[in-house]
Amino acid sequence: MRSVTVHAPGDLRVDEVPTPEPGDGEVLVAVEWGGICGSDLAYWRHGRTGTAELRDPLVLGHEVAGRVARTGPGVEGVPEGLPVTVHPADPVGGQDLPERLAGRSNLHPRVRYLGSAALHPHTDGGFRDLLPVKAHQLRPLPEGVDTRCGALAEPLAVALHAVGRAGGVRGREVLVNGAGPIGSLLVAALRHAGAARVVAADIDGGPPRTAAAMGAHETRDLSAGQGLPADTEVVFEASGAPAALAGVLEATARGGTLVQVGNLPGTPAPAALGALVTREITWTGSFRFAEEIGQALEAMAAGLDVAPLITHEFPADRAEEAMRTAAAPGSGKVLLRFG
């Protein structure tokens, strides 16, 4: 079978690997679609993302959907052919979280995440024809949600988690800075959560157009001289660019809330943060998601349409071309097709 594996920065291969067998408590998923994420691009381009650094070859991919191919010993009630997506996180170590982290499994100190080099040995991801995962990581797709859109349940869950971190957006005006795939999904999640008005901004003209298709009331192309709106009560920073922070903080209303969704570098980087203090802004981080993937599937079944986010599709054998496309300005979500 095939796997899309990064061997070193700039070295991406479609390898032929042995067909896996599901172990105790595992299910073998025949992957049909996989979405390319910014972390996949970072491993391919730089050999690292955030604080995770590539030490060995790594199968990429954590945004996947497909159908159950086989079940391993001890798995019951999971029929072959069931369309599913996968919760990529599997906490390890067995220790209980402190009370202050109740319900926040995303902050478990050790988590094996599909397609992640955070731990060693690394955790291979889902960009392969057949993916063995623990049965508890399966999430059946509801009626009306196909595997193509089901592959986007994971990034939509990231957006829904971030919206929850803002402490309530219903009836409020919101700014999303960085209108790539996560920023555009934030727009959809904010509309779903009842935000009164959503403005999306980016330094490239393509992403704002995608954000508009996902429901933004207004878009700003910062490269065309359109600045960020002033005094916005709730702001989401989804670019992950330290250089953007000064302007984003200035755009946040005094006493407002800024949710950091974009993955900031794990190494020192200059950033002007004075307005964080002088405007008395609440700046909160948002990391992956806990169980919001179920909410994401419910929202999609209820009519939240993620399809406008998909701009390109490639067969898995053209994975490097797909990665180059995903890294190019103006791309939305790029999908790999398996099976």
7-21 pLDDT, tens per residue? 999 999 999 999 999
CA angle in degrees (0–180, nearest 5) for 53-47-89: 55
CA distance 179 to 248: 14
Q: Which helix (DSSP H) or strand (DSSP E) does residue 39 occupy?
A: helix 38-46
Parts of the chain belonging to CATH 3.40.50.720: 159-285
Mean pLDDT of 151-179: 97
- Which of left, alpha, beta for 101 (phi over 0: left; psi -120 to 50: alpha)? alpha
For the domain made up of 159-285, the CATH class stated in words is alpha beta
pLDDT tier, 170 (very low <50, low <70, confident <90, very high otherwise) = very high
How far is it, in rounded angstroms, from Cα 71 to Cα 55? 31
d(CA 112, CA 266): 19
Q: Any residues with CB less than 8 A from the CB of 94 and at least 6 apart, and which?
A: none
SS3 of 312-335? EEEEHHHHHHHHHHHHCCCCCEEE
Residue range(s) of every CATH 3.90.180.10 domain in the chain: 2-152+306-337
- pLDDT at residue 206 greater than cutoff 80: no
CA 39 to CA 286: how far, in whole Å?
Answer: 15
Specify the amino acid at residue 294: G
Distances (CA, A) of 271 to 140, 239, 244, 249, 258: 43, 14, 8, 11, 15
| pLDDT score for 2 | 98
Quickly tell me which residue has 């169980």 as its tokens.
Answer: 291
* CATH code that applies to domain 2-152+306-337: 3.90.180.10
Which positions ≥6 away from 6 have C-beta within 8 Å? 12, 13, 43, 44, 47, 54, 57, 58, 60
- H-run or E-run covering 67: strand 63-71
At residue 267, does pLDDT exceed 90?
A: no
pTM (2 d.p.): 0.96
Rg of the chain over Cα atoms, rounded to whole angstroms, equals: 20
pLDDT of residue 214: 96
- The answer, yes or no, to whether residue 51 has pLDDT greater than 90, is no
